[in-house]
Amino acid sequence: MKSKIIKNLKELLPYIVILLIVILIRTFIATPIKVNGSSMYKTLDGSEFMILNKLAKIERFDIIVLDTNDDELIKRVYGLPGEKIAIENNNIYVNDKKIEDIYATGETSDYECITLKDDEYFVLGDNRKISLDSRTIGPIKKNQIKGTTNFIIYPFNRFGILEKNK
């Protein structure tokens, strides 16, 4: 009886190991996410499934997923910790230098100059008319960011990496 149990456990062991590895990867490294809404239009249309990278270093123009009290939002990073951010006349200024904003659709409303704290990011949706972003909810704390995403897995005609222009 005992040897039969051991034999069955040995047969199940590879499946248990695979299951544990999948759980660890999804918990700590990467997981699929669904894009909802059109705040990132034209880059994303709101129907994509993407891979969320939980380990990536966050850089300017990265697309991130952030957790608010009510929802998960997908936005683009414009301001990094410690930087000064201002928006005037549809122009974005980082540390008093105008940056080229090739992602925006629609007008970007003015935002008074602020200096981000060591754990804060300034994020905007690409579709500026309808996006709920840092212009409305303020800077985003590092602990609100679930990770970065730039790899579309569905729809298949868009499968692949989204290029980031710097």
Catalytic residue numbers? 39, 75
3-state secondary structure of 6: helix
What's the burial of 62, exposed, middle or buried (CB within 10 Å: 0-12/13-18/19+)? buried
- CB atoms under 10 Å from CB of 123, counted, come to 24
Residues 6+ apart with CB under 8 A from 44: 35, 63, 74, 126
Residues 105, 109: Cα–Cα separation, whole Å: 12
Peptide bond preceding 155 in cis form (omega within 30 of 0): yes
The DSSP code for 139 is P
